[in-house]
Amino acid sequence: MPAPRARAFAQVDVFTQVALRGNPVAVVLDGEGLDDAAMQAFASWTQLSETTFVLPASAGARAQGADYQLRIFTPGGELPFAGHPTLGSCHAWLAHGGQPQSATQIVQECRKGLVTIVHQGQALAFAAPALTRSAPAPDLLAGVLQALGLQPGQVLAAEQLDNGPQWLGLLLDSPDTVLALDPDHARLKALAQKVGVAALYPAADDAGPALVRRSSREARAFAAAAMPARPAVQLEVRAFAAATGINEDPVTGSLNASLAQWLIAEGRLQAPYVANQGSCLGRDGWVHVHADDQGQLWVGGHAVGCIQGSVLL
């Protein structure tokens, strides 16, 4: 192995305006010369849900507008795409002096292909990659419900979702059901299935106790922090990823992109909307989803730099 050298490094908190309330991603801003084993070893060491490595775009991708290439690793393996690492790595790349080819967008090359990122005020948003959906196998669904402690009647809809990462998406009967889950993570790991659960909040005019309980929970969880004005939230989300070495991911861009495409296509939700994720872990992630005039869904949020320096790799 070549001798380690200092490489620019950042750690960015994503889907939050307040540091330590979102989902952190470790970003090695100079990944040239590292092989897959070295990248995986570092990602396993950080124990964050994702660690990324920025590389020059390949010649073919650069000709199509790519500004850089991103490799994305969990503690358990490489992902073809992931949402919060995309936004956090782009934030770190720009802060480190990255200059996009276009004045209006940044283009990331990853294993999934090219992903477009745009500014939304002080936030960033990525274009949701194409989604493939299918019905889950009955035996798998039954095993997941048992691991989550759910009864079939609490599940309004279930779908296998694949936009690079693969999730079993479950739409549950209420946000309270989502927030009360205490999964058997060992059983989920044995099933080798990542699971995303979500539930819709009632409309503002008939929200009733659900939003009262939500407000009380947030006041308790975040009373010590100076929080910005909170947006109205339409969807509560949790992501269980023991199969990749992380029991629960705080705030998950790829899952939220998949959920948006699925639920909007089935008429259960309309863009624009805001999803919340992470409160069961003491986080407070806000994921903003909107559609442009061409029907492309964009998944966005703020990012805050927390660590900047170098790492020996």
How far, CA to CA in Å, does 1 sit from each of 4, 33, 36, 72, 182?
9, 11, 12, 22, 43
**Which residue do the tokens 């192995």 mark?**
1
Among candidate residues 32, 50, 78, 266, the one labeled active-site is 50
Select from 3.50.50.60, 3.30.559.10, 1.10.460.10, 3.10.310.10 the CATH code of 132-293. Answer: 3.10.310.10
**Mind listing the pLDDT tens digit for each residue in 56-91?**
999 999 999 999 999 999 999 999 999 999 999 999
**Mind listing the pLDDT tens digit for each residue in 193-251?**
999 999 999 986 444 455 545 555 555 455 545 556 778 999 999 999 999 999 999 99
**Which residue do the tokens 């209420």 mark?**
174
The count of other CB atoms within 10 Å of the CB of residue 213 is 13
Query: Could you tell me which residues come within 8 angstroms of residue 255 by beta carbon, excluding any fewer than 6 positions away?
Result: 83, 161, 165, 167, 169, 196, 237, 239, 249
The single-letter code of the amino acid at 166 is: Q
Q: 221, 240, 237, 244: which is closest to 273 by C-alpha?
A: 237
Q: 290, 251, 203: which is closest to 21 by C-alpha?
A: 251
pLDDT reading at 275 higher than 50: yes
User: Cβ(108)–Cβ(114) under 8 Å?
Assistant: yes
Instruction: Give the bridge partners for 69, in sequence order.
Output: 55, 109
**Mind listing the pLDDT tens digit for each residue in 89-120?**
999 999 999 999 999 999 999 999 999 999 99
Q: Do domains 6-128+302-312 and 132-293 have the same CATH topology?
A: yes
50 is catalytic: yes
Q: Classify domain 6-128+302-312 by CATH number.
A: 3.10.310.10
CA distance 178 to 180: 6
CA distance 52 to 29: 8
Q: Domain residues of the chain, as ranges?
A: 6-128+302-312, 132-293
